[in-house]
Structure 1
């Protein structure tokens, strides 16, 4: 059974999320602040964390930063669940390592679908030992390591999945909807903006190598070369 932690200071929302997750077969624990979460993480590492931004003490951004800097927790998938829904907030959260971003108010079915999608994508494929490369960019699919000019690039889980999908489909034009379906495993209407945000941060992290990701106007993206 997968374990999910929900960090949310609003008790009514926290209990709603816990109830929905438990009804869908997840083991769930709720926390109203970062300190309680940190204490629990010393004992048990969950399969996923749902994280609010506006919290007492450390806010969600600080908690996310601490999670990503800790060797024991850095690979835990994190979904931000918050009322802060501006593009700036989304970009900031994704840049700091969030794997998805759900704005409040949200539907329970959408939440469960997003959780399942992130969990499916976080399963490691141990039977693969594939290294993909384009020019000075190398992707080790098995070790989940990306290097540019022998320099390791620190990508979030979803950024890695996006880059991997684009490289696997080299020279193919991929629509935003297609990318959402394959990488996020969801087709929620209006969420294709998520693709643009991830492509933007991915290009920045790859530096000059990011130029291989080409924008196809009014359609989507492709990797050439």
Structure 2
């Protein structure tokens, strides 16, 4: 994880140099120390030397591709907890499944926009939020959230959630007691290029609260949201 007194270090690996330059520029502007690689063969040795707090991998690169690099990094103890994000033009579900099963923490489609990726990097390295979609299951009291099956249970009762509601709950559950803004939810779940009113996000949250119990997602005085665990269901 990033050090408390620094914004953190980011390793970029993509065979598209235009994307690398754009990402490098935007991340350095945010204060991050960045190392950009166009040659995936250098990724493992560069990671060992650079010791990044977060690694961004393209999937479709000449051997080794992003999935192979991620698998090799996760096999090393020093990179067990390092954030690994995938940035890819591939949107098919099996690419996402492979990314998470291999150890990727998030999967960002290039079509959604690079600003969303920059925002997510700031979210985890500066604001200390958690985005780890590789976690297969979260158990909080009697609430069980299974990412692989996209199922939610309270005690023995299964709760049916839409995909947006599930993603909201998963993000909330990984960041308990933190005040979360509409902007944070928009950029981390839908992407910064998606045009959505705050009221639309409110509708999703209202639906989620109706299904799991409204006392567990509270609104602060400045219209932020807070997930409150530890209450008996």
TM-score with structure 1 setting the length: 0.61
2:42 to 36, 45, 50: 36
Partner of 2:140: 167
Aligned equivalents of 1:93, 1:37: Cα separation in 2: 17
Residues 134-161 of structure 1 deviation map (CA, whole Å, 9 limit, x = unaligned): xxxxxxxxxxxxxxxxxxxxxx944449
Residue aligned with 1:81, SS: strand
Aligned pairs for 1:193-208 within 5 A: none
Partner of 1:22: 28
- Structure 2's unaligned 5+ residue stretches are 1-5, 144-153, 191-207, 214-231
Residues 68-112 of structure 1 deviation map (CA, whole Å, 9 limit, x = unaligned): 111222221100000011111111111111100000123233112
Mean Cα deviation higher: 182-191 or 53-62: 182-191
Aligned equivalents of 1:159, 1:101: Cα separation in 2: 10
Q: What is the CA distance between 1:67 and its match in structure 2?
A: 0.7
1:176 aligns with 2:166: yes
1:58 aligns with 2:58: no
- Structure 1's unaligned 5+ residue stretches are 123-155, 193-215
Residue aligned with 1:9, SS: coil
Aligned equivalents of 2:211, 2:188: Cα separation in 1: 15
Partner of 2:203: none
Partner of 1:112: 118
Partner of 1:139: none
1:102 aligns with 2:108: yes
Considering only aligned residues, what root-mean-square deviation do their CA atoms show, in Å?
Answer: 3.6
2:186 to 185, 188, 201: 188
Runs (4+) off by over 4 Å: 159-162, 171-175, 189-192, 218-221
Aligned equivalents of 2:186, 2:15: Cα separation in 1: 27
Tell me: CA distance 1:180–1:30, structure 2 relative to 1, closer, same or farther (3 Å): same
Q: What is the CA distance between 1:9 and its match in structure 2?
A: 0.8
Aligned equivalents of 2:212, 2:60: Cα separation in 1: 33
Asked if the contact 1:177–1:187 (Cα under 8 Å) also holds between the matched residues in 2, the reply is no
Residue aligned with 2:169, SS: helix
Tell me: CA distance 1:67–1:189, structure 2 relative to 1, closer, same or farther (3 Å): closer
TM-score with structure 2 setting the length: 0.59
Partner of 1:12: 18
Aligned equivalents of 1:114, 1:52: Cα separation in 2: 16
Residue aligned with 1:54, SS: coil
Q: What is the CA distance between 1:113 and its match in structure 2?
A: 1.9
Aligned equivalents of 1:7, 1:162: Cα separation in 2: 29
Aligned equivalents of 2:112, 2:33: Cα separation in 1: 21
Aligned equivalents of 1:90, 1:73: Cα separation in 2: 20
